[in-house]
Amino acid sequence: MDHNPLFLCLIILCLPSVCVFAQTKSNITVGESFTAGDGNSTWVISPSGDFAFGFQPLAGNNDQFLLSIWYAKIPNTTIVWYANGDNPAPKGSKVQLTAAQGLVLTSSNGGDLWKPDSIGGGTVALGALNDLGNFVLEDSTSKSLWETFKKPRDTMLPSQILEKAGKLSSRRSEADFSQGRFQLLLQDDGNLVMHSINLPSEYANENYYESGTVESNTSSPGFQLVFNKSGALYILRENNETYSLGINVSSSQFYLRAVLNFDGVFTLYQHPKTSFGNETWTSLWSHPDDICTATLVSTDSGVCGYNSICYLGDDSRPTCQCPTGYSLLDPKDPYGSCKPDFIQGCKEDELSGGNDLYELEVLTNVDWPLADSVLQRPFTEQQCRQACMEDCMCSVAIFRLGDSCWKKKWPLSNGRFDTSLDGGKALIKVRKDNSTLFGPPAPPIIKRKNQDTLVLVGSVLLGGSALINLIFFSFIYQLLKKLKNVNQSDSDVKTNLRCFTYKELEEATNGFKEELGRGAFGVVYKGTINMGLSPIHIAVKRLNNFVLKEIEKEFKNEVKVISQTYHKNLVRLLGFCEEGAEKLLVYEYMSNGTLASLLFNDVKPSWNLRQRIAFEIARGLVYLHEDCSTQIIHCDIKPQNILLDDCFNARISDFGLAKLLNINQSRTNTGIRGTKGYVALEWFKNMPITTKVDVYSFGVLLLEIICCRRSVDMEAENEEKAILTDWAYDYYTEGCIEALVEQDEEALEDKKKLEKLVMIAIWCVQEDPTLRPTMRKVVQMLEGVSEVFYPPPESP
């Protein structure tokens, strides 16, 4: 066979550099990089093949990655070190070894995700993953500049040492690697301690574990926490004595790791090295022995969340359980707080008219030691029960020691099951009747889902949204009429808007040929016009006769107000035309159409995009309500009035024209009630119109954005589903908000956020405008700056 020399040469080049090297590569040289989600998670493998370094996908989310080290030979991924727990790397993110900064992790759009805090001013030459599971950055003289062993996360491995002030920090949950609530710290005085911290300040609560290795007459203080090569884990004292944390095990046949678990328990685990694929990690010892009773923390909830009860498992790990009548605040976080499924309060009790509202659930050997309000002694159990029943502030009473009664108030903290309570009883007050689940019945307003819904159904079927437009027009008509007599300023408006001639706009729109849409005030046409150097697309709104008749001299004032608004989530007014009977407004053209066409489509837009759009609309409304020189109430927020620009940014349109309604104005009752379109009930009642009407409409819109369906859907299979706000509220109270988004996987995976958005929306559509939040508050809730409380009962 005739060998081509070039071919041979390629083989020779290929062998060391790609084919072989790729299998066993342990070292990275400066300049090399690795991309998340490129098929192979492993960047380098330690020479023995025990450990791997690269990008692990986060559980349940294949688009988010963790730069991490894990056991390469264990089928179940066990991560021992991670870089960017608080900042998961999106697919396409890249980690690169650089001389000046060591490893640098950047997202595909260039954002910094993580880098080592300091490499001590050296110049990195090499990164190597060794057989201990330690990833080391070295300079050209093989001096170590930075290593993962010195920046531990929640895990220590054999050969790893924790110096004074060194700490382990738990992750949030088994699958969530962001910073969690617990820390293990070797204090400067040599004491090894564990405590919970309050995020985000990291304020440390009292210790629930202390080794006690401090200076005393008989012993010298601790100096290092050592996990030695052969598997012993001990505190080394200054006089070289050791304080063992547990049994010494062999590291020759087992993988060992000591982990500060997300629930605050520090555990040594082992796993056989020779693997049939069915082995698991087994726990050898843990500290503290009983974390449920070890933690007693006045500034925190305890191991479990508030109102929860901690039970210790056989593996010394806690589980948390809500008492009867309570359920998890965040169903995805079983270790979190519990909320009562009923409303209890002094006012509520009084309104519900008194006795027999509650019953007492009894749990034995359960206590919440730190939430005392009153201690009564001596007291019989019967007296204790009665005292709590009659006290509207009492949530739980603990009856113990045969004669002692502690009344407790919410939130209950440090809840635990503890056999040393010697049969002490927790008497938990739970509301009896779920029909009063949400407290007193609302004042009789309108009964829904009965005749009114039918009337509405009929009207909508007949008139569709024309009904709402009609109502709307009649209001505008009345108002404009009144306003006309009030205040007419003839002063000319000076704006830097462009004033177009009718002819110009007629030509720009090709004789008003291409219709973009119809709003409450007129028809919108697409046009092209020369502004500056190049032609741009515009949207020309030709006001209809109905509006024209009423506007007259206000027109220029309107235009002025509108032109003074400038916000990235509003459609910008470019100019206007007023010529004879014609009045036209010229706006930026929005290439991606209306939110309605985006939402009510066969393909749902992504959950992220939908959330962003909701946020942008809210921001635009805050600007209209609070930040522009003249307050503007939009009065007609709906998906048809939200436009999308080239980048799918939400831009509110059609604002300003209804601004005339911005006065405290009483209206007569039109006799139409209970429609739950986008229109707040104030419109139909003798109530002033405030910015809260927009908040209502925003709430409806938010539900539409969440569910990708219209606020009124007469084609829904059943009547309950027809009115979105009712439907959403029902599902929310029944705790099945998943049904609102049907097969929307993205939203389902983000359930906490989903629930939050639904709650915000429900707050916005409260019938009583004073209960609705302001748009600023809505933005704060969306941002997570403001807490979202549980919405009140549905009133209509």
In whole angstroms, give the CA distance from residue 230 to residue 157: 11
Q: Which residues contact 46 (CB under 8 A, 6 or more apart)?
A: 26, 52, 72, 129, 130, 131, 132, 133
Nearest distance from C-beta of residue 70 to ligand NAG, angstroms: 13
Number of residues that bind ligand NAG (CB under 6 A): 30
Nearer to ligand NAG, 148 or 653 (CB): 148
Asked if 230 touches ligand NAG (CB under 6 A), the answer is: yes
Give the interface segment with ligand NAG, choosing from 180-188, 243-251, 443-451, 471-479 (CB under 6 A).
243-251
Asked if 250 touches ligand NAG (CB under 6 A), the answer is: no
Strand pairing partners for 583? 578
Asked if 45 touches ligand NAG (CB under 6 A), the answer is: yes
Nearer to ligand NAG, 223 or 525 (CB): 223
Residue 277 Cα distances to 272, 280, 343, 594, angstroms: 10, 9, 51, 54
Write down the residue that tokens 């919970």 correspond to.
196
In the range 604-623, which residues lie near ligand NAG by CB under 6 A? Answer: none
Nearer to ligand NAG, 278 or 382 (CB): 278
**Tokens (6 digits) for 159:** 């050969």
Q: Which residues contact 323 (CB under 8 A, 6 or more apart)?
A: 307, 309, 338, 361, 363, 426, 428, 430
In whole angstroms, give the CA distance from residue 533 to residue 21: 58
Q: Which residues contact 474 (CB under 8 A, 6 or more apart)?
A: 670
Select from 27, 219, 404, 564 the one that contacts ligand NAG (CB under 6 A). Answer: 27
Asked if 140 touches ligand NAG (CB under 6 A), the answer is: no
Beta carbons of 166 and 222 less than 8 angstroms apart = no
Asked if 229 touches ligand NAG (CB under 6 A), the answer is: yes
Asked if 42 touches ligand NAG (CB under 6 A), the answer is: yes
Burial (CB < 10 A; 0-12, 13-18, 19+), residue 286, is: buried
Nearer to ligand NAG, 331 or 535 (CB): 331
Give the interface segment with ligand NAG, choosing from 241-249, 309-317, 642-650, 710-718 (CB under 6 A).
241-249
636 is catalytic: yes
In whole angstroms, give the CA distance from residue 4 to residue 305: 72
Nearest Cα residue to 621 out of 675, 557, 570, 684: 570
Asked if 128 touches ligand NAG (CB under 6 A), the answer is: yes
Asked if 280 touches ligand NAG (CB under 6 A), the answer is: yes
Asked if 275 touches ligand NAG (CB under 6 A), the answer is: no
Nearest distance from C-beta of residue 36 to ligand NAG, angstroms: 14
Residue 549 assigned as binding residue: yes
Nearest distance from C-beta of residue 290 to ligand NAG, angstroms: 21
Asked if 138 touches ligand NAG (CB under 6 A), the answer is: yes
Asked if 242 touches ligand NAG (CB under 6 A), the answer is: yes
In whole angstroms, give the CA distance from residue 652 to residue 658: 13
Helix (H) or strand (E) holding 195, with range, is strand 192-198
In whole angstroms, give the CA distance from residue 580 to residue 560: 19
Select from 4, 23, 201, 252 the one that contacts ligand NAG (CB under 6 A). Answer: 23
Give the interface segment with ligand NAG, choosing from 184-192, 233-241, 761-769, 774-782 (CB under 6 A).
233-241
Residue 187 Cα distances to 167, 219, 265, 295, angstroms: 9, 16, 18, 19
Residue 526: CB atoms within 10 A of its CB come to 18
Asked if 142 touches ligand NAG (CB under 6 A), the answer is: yes
In the range 205-224, which residues lie near ligand NAG by CB under 6 A? Answer: 217-218
Asked if 167 touches ligand NAG (CB under 6 A), the answer is: no
In the range 381-440, which residues lie near ligand NAG by CB under 6 A? Answer: 434
Asked if 471 touches ligand NAG (CB under 6 A), the answer is: no
Of the residues 636, 654, 694, 744, which is catalytic? 636
Residue 486 Cα distances to 142, 545, 550, 635, 688, angstroms: 85, 22, 13, 21, 18
Select from 18, 22, 199, 454 the one that contacts ligand NAG (CB under 6 A). Answer: 22
- Residue ranges for the binding site? 549
Q: Which residues are catalytic?
A: 636
> Which residues line the annotated binding site for ATP?
549
Would you tell me which residues interact with ligand NAG (CB under 6 A)? 22-23, 25-27, 40, 42, 45, 76, 126, 128, 138, 142, 217-218, 228-230, 232, 234, 239-240, 242, 244, 247-248, 276, 278, 280, 434
